[in-house]
Amino acid sequence: MKVVIQRVSEASVTVEGKVVNSIDNGLLILVGIENADDIGDIEWLCKKISGLRIFNDKNGVMNNSIIQEEGDIIVVSQFTLQASTKKGNRPSYINAAKPEISIPLYEQFVAQLELETGKKVGTGVFGADMKVALINDGPVTIQMDSKNRK
């Protein structure tokens, strides 16, 4: 499972011209699920994300987590994070999990993140053509891959 975590001062997800979720201070997390992902990947990532110290403390040092910041989170499914660009110019998505696998894992990811943070987590609409808007604060953008835990 791959994630891109962006610290935002605001973010929103729009589907068919309607804003389905929006936040102010917090995290926008893009999630790409692959065929080999399971609950262990979810638990590891959610624990890391909830404790990630990427928010400024009172001294302007990145020392606080999303929990300490009391920020909000939006999670958006993005299968293109699983793109392979080894050959040619057209990305291959062969490793991206099909909906019958990825939807339950996506829902588990959101539920686990809610459990870890103690807050409701907003989402996009799985499989929809979404318009994601954000103001990246910092900018701070972190990539994580549960298959590469170094």
Q: What is the pLDDT of residue 42?
A: 98
The structure's pTM equals 0.95
* Size of the chain, expressed as the number of residues it contains: 150
- Give the domains, in start order, of the chain with CATH numbers: 2-145 (3.50.80.10)
CB neighbours of 78 closer than 8 A, spacing ≥ 6? Answer: 4, 30, 31, 32
Residue 35: name the closest of 100, 84, 108 by CA.
100
Q: Is 119 exposed, middle or buried (0-12, 13-18, 19+ CB in 10 A)?
A: middle
Q: What is the pLDDT of residue 150?
A: 73
Q: C-alpha distances in angstroms, 72 versus 24, 27, 104?
A: 7, 6, 22
Q: Going residue by residue through the chain, which has 150 residues, state the pLDDT in tens, using 9 for 90 and above.
A: 999 999 999 999 999 999 999 999 999 999 999 999 999 999 999 999 999 999 999 999 999 999 999 999 999 999 999 999 998 899 999 999 999 999 999 999 999 999 999 999 999 999 899 999 999 999 999 999 999 987
Read off φ and ψ for residue 102, nearest 5 degrees: -75, -35
Among all residues, which ones are annotated catalytic? 78-80
